[in-house]
Chains A and B, each alone.
Chain A
């Protein structure tokens, strides 16, 4: 995940009560980025992502489910559907709901504009075009199994 997107997720913590956030890919629930305490590891999020993706499909309506708020005794998990990804925010139950909604909307706009990498299957299916004139893409730092890795 590029630093700009990670920064966007970090900015959510400006709201008192927000504990962290993560982004999963729509359709698969694959973890794409995170800003959460280390106690929640990527293995857990890899399990949670597909379930979140399925939750967004269960209400039958002419319109797709745009947001879900899951309420637990002391905390809440809010999920917002964006174009290619779902933004998930973990917060204390006492967080200000309007502030949380606004923060998610603002961060959602930033993340929506981000060019998320195509899933591996799509990348393989794309025709290989050798173009020596094309410059090498800039290196990116991504979060992989809890570690920052440059690719």
Chain B
């Protein structure tokens, strides 16, 4: 994880507990903060402001349950927030009226972000383009990646929730679901539970969940699809 991350933690007056310290910390990474909140079993939310961008993390009894920034929600939002280098954090007590959108454990997310950070550093050192961008004073060089897209849908193809421009992914997933089921039935296989497509660096993983809903994730970053792949045992 990048060491230059600098998060200031400011608790507003209304959020201050009657007991305990109010902290103003410098040089704390967002990963440190997530770890601290999860290990202390906290139930609270954190608003994060960085370079004009706003993000939010929510903890429920020590579990990271919700995250949002821009048009990203859940796991993708956590990974995006962990890419931010500096910012201000503000605690607020209470839980937002959403179910749990973060599916991976906080440990898995921190590990995924660390792996991605390492990969970015490796690309920077290997690629002259990234070196040139860095030399030109560009803001953090953007790694070569496709933004993660995900969609949750019913098995009849109705989109229930999506992150990013997911129209094509929803259509492809609905089609893949039908084709894979036909193939399975023809070969007398058991119930279809999911699949993975690999096209160059792009990974598309489709999982049929216990609820019957279909979760499809598409990304060129391994960490974004790692949990879905693991659930399929791939």
A interface residues (Cβ-Cβ under 8 A, vs B):
39-40, 44, 47-48, 51-52, 54-55, 58-75, 77, 90, 93, 97
Stretch at the interface among B20-28, B59-67, B83-91, B173-181: B173-181
15 chain-A/chain-B pairs, Cβ below 8 angstroms: A40-B188, A48-B183, A51-B186, A55-B183, A59-B202, A59-B218, A62-B200, A63-B200, A63-B201, A67-B198, A68-B195, A69-B196, A71-B193, A73-B193, A97-B233
B interface residues (Cβ-Cβ under 8 A, vs A):
168, 172, 175-176, 179-180, 182-184, 186-202, 204, 218, 232-234
Most buried by A among B192, B197, B218, B234: B197
Contact status A60-B187, CB under 8 Å = no
Q: Besides A69-B232, A72-B189, 6 other CB < 8 A contacts?
A: A40-B187, A65-B197, A66-B198, A69-B195, A71-B196, A71-B232
Residues of A within 8 A of B201 (CB): 63
- A-B Cβ contacts below 8 A, count: 92
Majority DSSP secondary structure for residues of A touching B: mixed
Residues of A within 8 A of B197 (CB): 58-59, 65, 67-68
Residues of A within 8 A of B198 (CB): 65-68
Contact status B200-A51, CB under 8 Å = no
Majority DSSP secondary structure for residues of B touching A: mixed
Contact status B180-A70, CB under 8 Å = yes
